[in-house]
């Protein structure tokens, strides 16, 4: 485990807008890791009459080729590419979708303090629908924005001015929480003032602190 270098110090009087990532930030990334790295390779191997590890290696290469793009999280693209009904497959194991500890408390804290709360995710709208139906956390947000609405992924610098135009937030009075440092980097370059890294995106993986951004394990650290 790396050393904890930066602790969050949020002056809530300076914050008007709270923007939150979904997978790994609000929701336990174990579901996604299990789905893409175990469940899909298992089904893909059976469908293509190959062994699991050959399927795994082939799929990891395919995933990597699209990382950081809209296609990376586009369930329609991957369903066509892999010739699998991924929406049905995700729905079948939706019991594995879990909200991280203290997330609901944090969302209620933000609401009590009259902050605008936006879910900003690269997840495809069909994936979003499955997860919101299971967790029912969508009622806590003023608005939910998928990257497909913006036309590019959060990792792209142009994403943030497009999002600002859509939501009309003040980047000097906005907080972004994400488990992806590349996303935080582009948001930082754009000028979003308050940035927090989630150091434990999956309940099944160790804590990894950011060396660049203040990090949290649980959202109770921000309240």
How far is the C-alpha of 176 from the C-alpha of 116, rounded, in Å?
Answer: 12
Q: Alpha-carbon distance 110 to 12, whole Å?
A: 9
Residue 132 has pLDDT above 50, yes or no: yes
CA distance 3 to 117: 31
Q: Which distant-in-sequence residues (6+ apart) come within 8 Å of 121 by Cβ? A: 21, 22, 23, 128, 144, 145, 146, 147
pLDDT tens-digit series, residues 144-201 = 999 999 999 999 999 999 999 999 999 999 999 999 999 999 999 999 999 999 999 9
What are phi and psi for residue 175, nearest 5 degrees?
Answer: -115, 130
Domains and CATH numbers, the chain: 12-28+98-222 (3.40.50.1000), 31-95 (no CATH)
**Which residues, listed in sequence order, are joined to residue 146 by a DSSP beta bridge?**
121
Return all residues near 84 (Cβ < 8 A) that are at least 6 apart: 40, 43, 44, 47, 78
Whether the per-residue pLDDT at 7 is higher than 90: the answer is no
């Amino acid at each position: 485990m790396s050393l904890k270098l930066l602790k969050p110090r949020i002056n809530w009087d300076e914050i008007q807008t709270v923007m939150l990532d979904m997978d790994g930030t609000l929701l336990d990334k174990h579901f996604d890791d299990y789905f893409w790295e175990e469940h899909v390779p298992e089904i893909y191997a059976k469908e293509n009459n190959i062994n699991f590890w050959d399927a795994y290696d082939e799929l990891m290469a395919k995933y990597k080729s699209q990382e950081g793009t809209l296609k990376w999280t586009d369930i329609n693209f991957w369903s066509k590419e892999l010739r699998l009904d991924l929406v049905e497959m995700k729905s079948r194991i939706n019991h594995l979708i879990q909200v991280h500890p203290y997330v609901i408390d944090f969302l209620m804290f933000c609401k009590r303090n009259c902050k605008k709360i936006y879910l900003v995710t690269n997840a495809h709208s069909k994936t979003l629908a499955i997860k919101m139906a299971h967790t029912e956390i969508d009622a806590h947000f003023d608005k939910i924005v998928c990257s497909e609405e913006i036309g590019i992924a959060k990792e792209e610098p142009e994403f943030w001015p497009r999002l600002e135009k859509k939501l009309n937030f003040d980047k000097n009075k906005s907080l972004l929480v994400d488990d992806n440092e590349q996303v935080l980097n582009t948001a930082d370059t754009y000028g979003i003032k308050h940035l927090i890294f989630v150091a434990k995106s999956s309940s099944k993986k160790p804590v990894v602190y950011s060396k660049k951004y203040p990090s949290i394990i649980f959202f109770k650290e921000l309240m």
